[in-house]
Amino acid sequence: MPKKLPFFLIANALLSSALPTWGEELPEGKGKEMVAASCTSCHTFSSRVGAGYTATGWHTVMRMMINHGVPIPRDQLGTMTEYLIKNFPEKLKPAGVVVLTPPSPKSRPYGMAVNSKGAVFFVEFGTNKVGGVDPATLEIREYPLPDPASRPRRIAITSDDIVWYTDFSRGYLGRLDPSTGAVTEWQSPSGPKSEPYGISAIKDIVWYSESGSTPNTVVRFDPGSTKFQSWAIPGGGNIVRNTSVTRDGSFVLANSLVNAVTLVKISK
């Protein structure tokens, strides 16, 4: 039976740097001792290195250090610069953020998932469509759902790259085959006002919650047999907007309005 568990959040902040800092060993090479002696006189080594520099950049940095009064012997300048160019080249920088706009206006992109090929799929809660992003071209293809009143809200993908969505407005579970655009839908067990919401796929079985039923439910759907099973969430649930899957294959539901998490242990 599903059990309601209190919600605990454990946050761990981990800070690390791939670049040497003062007190750590610099890479071996001609010029190492000179750099160690001169490049930490007014700041830590890592604060100057940052993400590295191009050869031109390192020449500029060394000129700036001399201009600021760092005592670098002229006969060592070339050796130090070559050491820095070799050991701390400029690292690749992010290409930047790309914002994609779905073709449909006011589509309200909502839940999303990534398939086995790296393609992103998302539901458009402001329309009756599912969107897909081609990872190579970044082009968006929209898949219209049969009923104009559909408002899909969350999404999951099984290992065969079939897209599953919860139709919040109509109380349906939907199946979309992106290769053909074919859509199949089933009425959710609690009916038209069941408001299916958070959804996950576990070993190619679809699990979701009905947020409009009282109490909220956990629903299991087997794509092979097309059979539903459902259970009431202890305590009521009260709007499960998001779900996830643990490493051991258990189903986890966030009970948004009651400060709780439901854990469903699935028999092996």
Q: Which CATH number fits domain 100-264: 2.30.110.10, 3.40.190.10, 2.130.10.10, 3.40.50.300?
A: 2.130.10.10
Among all chains, which residue has been given the structure tokens 């090929």? 117
| Topology at the third CATH level for domain 32-87 | Cytochrome Bc1 Complex; Chain D, domain 2 (1.10.760)
Q: Is 34 helix (H, G, I), strand (E, B) or coil?
A: helix
Among all chains, which residue has been given the structure tokens 């996830």? 244
Q: Which amino acid is at 178?
A: P
Written as one string, the DSSP assignment of 140-153 is EEEEE-S-TT--EE
Average pLDDT over residues 53-73: 84
Q: pTM for the complete prediction?
A: 0.66
pLDDT in tens, 27-48: 888 988 887 777 765 556 665 6
pLDDT score of 82:
92
pLDDT in tens, 148-193: 999 999 999 999 999 999 999 999 999 999 999 999 999 999 999 9
pLDDT over 80 at 3, yes or no: no
Distances (CA, A) of 57 to 31, 88, 90, 94: 18, 11, 9, 19
Cα 160 to Cα 179: distance, rounded to the nearest angstrom? 11
Average pLDDT, the chain: 85
Domain with CATH 2.130.10.10 in the chain: 100-264
Domain with CATH 1.10.760 in the chain: 32-87
